[in-house]
Amino acid sequence: MALIVAFGNPVYDDITTPYVTTGGRVLSGCSTNGCLALTHLGHQTALVGGVGPDYHQRFLEDMQRYQVSTYLQPSVQTGGFRLIYDVCGDRTLDLLGQADVITLVPDVCTSAAAIIIGPILQETPLSLIERIRSISAAPLLLDPQGLLRCIGADGRVEHVANPDMHAIASLCTVVKANEVEAHVMTGVDPRQEPGIAVQRVRALGCQIAIVTLAELGSVIDDGVRQYHIPAYATLARDSTGAGDTYMAGFLHAYLHNPDDLFVAGCTGAATASIWIEHTGPDAPVTMAEVLRRTAVLVSQYRDGGLR
């Protein structure tokens, strides 16, 4: 059982889609969702982040129930967003709360098989990632979403370039960005030129770049070749956490065989497909179903996946 440590503040979000509504705030967050999925896939996980007194007890109870270890630092408040999705899958994010910048780097990082950096809103600066890298040689996987966000005057999330992104990416084994984030980072529209977009993400300095494209799948670049990964066709009732759980599935397969990035990508797509069929943290991700969906993708698409 591999230990995976994830850095990123947990959030409690209020989510509305054309299919479901949470009816209040539910546990979420990039690193949190990754830990939940990885625990379902048989890994030991630990989450490093901050929560405020408003959700402290509820969060501890949630993490105990989901069997995720925690390394918490105090915060003035707990983070969260109000997410509203339209019929096209586009969403708005309005700020409900923001936790503090993470400064804690626990010793457990020295024994981690991999470390995820999954910020929600600017809580994992370059200085923190440098400290993590200084004590661990484990693969470092970055989801840059929270590093590319700011809050506008109306309280709504906006996307902006991060001047430290090149330095941060250079410390990472994998950088996984969605289409909006990849566009902000590279200036290339991934839906129009996915190969160029992922190539430019990798040029920031990471070893492996991934760009996810929702129903169009994803593309992976390791500097030698590109892999085009199909999406597993399903109804996305709530796409919150799709990229987070793609990363979890990818990492699970990558740790098993780092040389087969096509299977790793398909495992990521399979894991995310289960998550988006549900809403909130209780999606029934199981190893058996992830393997079944991965096998479907691999058998149907492997010959077309390599570029």
pTM equals 0.96
Number of domain units in the chain: 1
What percent of the chain is predicted at pLDDT more than 90?
Answer: 94
Local confidence band at 305 (pLDDT 50, 70, 90 cut-offs): low
**pLDDT tens digits, one per residue of 8-65:** 999 999 999 999 999 899 999 999 999 999 999 999 999 999 999 999 999 999 999 9
Average pLDDT over residues 115-142: 98
Domain with 208, as residue range(s), is 3-305
Half-sphere exposure of 117 (CA within 13 A, CB side): 35
Average pLDDT, the chain: 95
Percentage helix, strand, coil for the chain under 3-state DSSP, each rounded to 5: 35, 25, 35
Read off the pLDDT of residues 212-239 as tens digits, 9 standing for 90 and up: 999 999 999 999 999 999 999 999 999 9
Q: Supply the CATH number for residue 216's domain.
A: 3.40.1190.20
pLDDT at 102 over 90: yes
Percent of the chain with pLDDT over 70: 98
**CA angle (302 as vertex; 298, 304 as ends), nearest 5:** 140
Q: Kindly indicate the confidence band of residue 307, based on its pLDDT and cuts at 50, 70 and 90.
A: very low
**In the predicted structure, residue 293 carries a pLDDT above the cut 70:** yes
Residues 6+ apart with CB under 8 A from 255: 2, 113, 114, 139
pLDDT in tens, 258-285: 999 999 999 999 999 999 999 999 999 9
